[in-house]
Amino acid sequence: MLSPEYLLRVSEGGEKIAESLHNDIISKIVDRIAVRLDRGDDYILTAQDKWQIEVLQESGMLLEDIQKLLAQSTGLMQKEIAEAMAVIARQNRMTVEQLKPYFSPEFEAAVERSVLTTKVMGLIRDNAVIS
């Protein structure tokens, strides 16, 4: 019979391998996105990128987490987040500087989620297949 300690060691090793594989896939997608951005291509994801994202999802990663990692790694969302902050400030008749004291991790996460949701909905709208 296998001991609980052995099973724990084996499962931890598997988790490390899976995490390493996830990081490697994300890194390769980011590298390809960076090349396309440098060239000025009008698309960001290729069929290969989309397939690798699907593989990550099938392995248990959430699409939102994948998008967040990609956005953080490529800096793609920084402009959209800054624009969202500016809109929030204008809606409250403030400047972004006046809004800064109200920034908290929860507030920033909510703005980031809002930007991500907008991006996800756009991707779904652009790539949905209606049958």
Segments of the chain with pLDDT less than 70: 72-76, 120, 123-124, 127-131
Can you give the residue ranges of every domain in the chain? 1-76, 77-131
Q: How far apart are CA 31 and CA 114, in angstroms?
A: 26
Chain segment 55-74, per-residue pLDDT in tens: 888 888 777 777 777 776 66
Q: How far apart are CA 96 and CA 106, in angstroms?
A: 17
pLDDT at 93: 92
Q: In a 10 Å sphere around its CB, with 0-12 CB exposed, 13-18 middle and 19+ buried, how is residue 56 labelled?
A: buried
| Token pair belonging to 91 | 């809606």
| Token pair belonging to 22 | 């996830």
Chain segment 77-89, per-residue pLDDT in tens: 777 788 888 998 8
Q: Write the single-letter amino acid at 5.
A: E
